[in-house]
């Protein structure tokens, strides 16, 4: 029974660390740019767009479709960075075991 108690204790510790990581994810931010810095997106660890900055020079050409593509690219890249960062942290906590639905 000693081994079972140790396993349960370790699971509780891991569960606490995962809960803390999920809670902290909301306050972490991740940034990406596109168009050579013309568009900058900042997202939280929960992959929510926090800020979007567009350099006024991006509007000079009047190409709305290009600007839309730059916005999408910056937001998607920031979300990818956030996801990969949190997955690395989760992997460290779980010892490499993938836990679906956590992030």
Domains annotated on the chain, with CATH: 2-94 (3.30.1310.10)
Nearest to 37 by CA among 76, 85, 70, 78: 70
Bridge-partner residues for 48, per DSSP? none
**Would you say the pTM of this structure is higher than 0.75?**
yes
- Tens place of pLDDT for every residue, the chain, 103 residues? 578 888 888 878 888 888 888 888 888 999 999 999 999 999 999 889 999 999 999 888 888 999 999 999 999 999 999 999 988 888 887 776 666 655 5
Alpha-helical regions (H) of 26-97 = 64-94
């Amino acid at each position: 029974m000693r081994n079972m108690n140790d396993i349960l204790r370790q699971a509780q510790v891991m569960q606490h660390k995962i809960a803390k990581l999920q809670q902290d994810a909301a306050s972490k931010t991740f940034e990406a740019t596109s168009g050579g810095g013309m568009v900058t997106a900042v997202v939280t660890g929960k992959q929510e767009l926090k800020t979007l900055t567009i350099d006024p020079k991006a509007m000079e050409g009047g190409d709305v479709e290009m600007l839309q593509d730059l916005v999408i690219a910056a937001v998607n890249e920031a979300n990818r960075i956030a996801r990969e960062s949190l997955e690395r942290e989760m992997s460290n906590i779980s010892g490499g075991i993938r836990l679906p639905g956590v992030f």
